[in-house]
C-alpha cells in the first residue's frame, strides 16, 4: 500500500509533499490508497490527510475522517466544502501553498559579521514561548525537545529562530525586530533546509496564500511553489 500511495501522490509532488513525507518518515498510517485518492492518518502530527480526484471518491471516507476527531488537511477545494458541512467543529481554516526544496545540494547560510546559528536546547524554551505566539507553550517545548529548533544569535543575544513542525514542515521562522533586514531570515531558512537534508528529509514549508514576503523569499532561494492549495481544518 505504501508504494501505491506514493505513486498516486507523485502525480502532483509539490501539492502532496506533506503526505509523501509523512509516509517516507514513517509517521503515516495509510488508510486507503487507490486509483482515485489517498487517505492517511498521521498520529505524530495528529492529522488526517486526504487527497481525492472527486467528491464521489471522497464520500465513502467522510465518516472515517469525522470520527477521527483530528485536525484535517485536504488538497482540493471540493473536499474542504464537503467536510465543512460534515465537520462543523473544525471551523478554523489555514490555506497554504507548499514550498519545496527539490535539490540535494546544501545551501550557503551566509551570515553577517557577528552572527551565528546553532541548535536550541531547553534553556531557550521560555524565550521561544514568550516570542512565538502562534503555538502553545507545550507545543514549542516539544519542538525544542525534538531537536529541530535553530537559533540565530547576534553575539550572545538571541536574534531569531526557525524550526520544524510535527507534520514535517519547516516554520516558526521569527526574527526579532531589532535584528531584521540583516539577512537573518534567509540564513535561518538555509540552515533549516540543510539540517533537514542531513536528516534525510525533503525540506518543505507551508506558506499562507496571503504571505507574499515568505513566498518571495522561498522563490528567491530556489524553492518550488505548489500551484494547488492545501487547507488545514482545525478546531
Q: How far apart are CA 36 and CA 136, in angstroms?
A: 37
The answer to whether the pTM exceeds 0.85 is yes
For residue 123, name the pLDDT band (cuts at 50, 70, 90): very high
Q: For residue 191, what are the contacts with CB-CB under 8 A and spacing of at least 6?
A: 109, 117, 150, 162
**In angstroms, rounded to a whole number, what is the distance separating the alpha carbons of residues 121 and 141?**
10
Question: In whole numbers, what is the pLDDT of the chain averaged over residues?
Answer: 96
Instruction: Answer yes or no: is pLDDT of 38 > 90.
Output: yes
CATH class of domain segment(s) 115-201:
alpha beta
Q: Transcribe 40-100 into DSSP letters.
A: EEETTTTEEEEEESSHHHHGGGHHHHHHH-SEEEESSHHHHHHHHHH-TT--EEEEEEEEE
Per-residue pLDDT, 110: 82
pLDDT of residue 235: 85
Q: How many residues appear in the chain?
A: 235
Residues above pLDDT 90, as percent of the chain: 96
> Do residues 203 and 191 lie in contact, with contact meaning Cβ atoms separated by under 8 Å?
no
Strands 150-154 and 170-175: unpaired
**pLDDT tens, residue by residue, 78-118:** 999 999 999 999 999 999 999 999 999 999 878 988 899 99
Q: Where are the alpha helices (DSSP H) in the chain?
A: 2-9, 17-24, 55-58, 62-68, 77-86, 125-131, 137-145, 184-198, 212-220
168 DSSP 8-state letter: S
User: What's CA 158's distance to the chain center, in Å?
Assistant: 24
pLDDT above 90 (res 231): yes
Mean pLDDT over residues 46-66, rounded?
97
Amino acid at each position: 500500500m505504501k508504494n501505491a500511495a506514493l505513486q498516486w501522490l507523485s502525480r502532483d509532488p509539490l501539492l502532496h509533499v506533506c503526505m509523501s513525507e509523512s509516509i517516507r518518515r514513517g509517521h503515516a498510517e495509510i488508510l486507503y490508497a487507490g486509483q482515485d485518492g489517498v487517505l492517511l492518518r498521521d498520529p505524530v502530527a495528529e492529522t488526517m490527510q486526504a487527497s481525492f480526484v472527486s467528491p464521489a471518491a471522497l464520500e465513502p471516507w467522510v465518516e472515517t475522517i469525522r470520527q477521527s476527531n483530528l485536525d484535517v488537511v485536504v488538497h482540493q477545494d471540493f473536499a474542504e466544502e464537503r467536510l465543512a458541512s460534515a465537520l462543523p467543529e473544525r471551523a478554523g481554516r489555514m490555506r497554504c501553498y507548499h514550498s519545496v526544496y527539490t535539490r540535494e545540494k546544501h545551501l550557503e547560510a551566509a551570515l553577517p559579521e557577528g552572527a551565528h546559528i546553532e541548535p536550541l536546547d531547553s534553556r531557550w524554551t521560555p524565550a521561544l514561548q514568550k516570542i512565538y505566539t502562534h503555538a502553545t507553550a507545550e507545543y514549542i517545548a516539544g519542538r525544542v525537545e525534538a531537536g529541530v529548533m535553530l537559533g540565530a544569535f547576534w553575539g550572545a543575544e538571541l536574534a531569531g529562530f526557525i524550526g520544524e513542525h510535527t507534520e514535517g514542515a519547516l516554520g516558526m521562522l521569527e526574527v526579532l525586530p531589532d535584528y531584521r533586514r540583516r539577512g537573518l531570515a534567509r540564513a535561518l531558512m538555509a540552515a533549516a533546509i540543510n539540517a533537514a537534508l542531513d536528516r534525510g528529509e525533503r525540506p518543505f514549508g507551508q506558506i499562507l496564500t496571503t504571505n507574499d514576503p515568505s513566498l518571495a523569499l522561498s522563490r528567491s532561494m530556489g524553492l518550488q511553489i505548489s500551484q494547488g492549495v492545501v487547507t488545514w481544518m482545525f478546531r
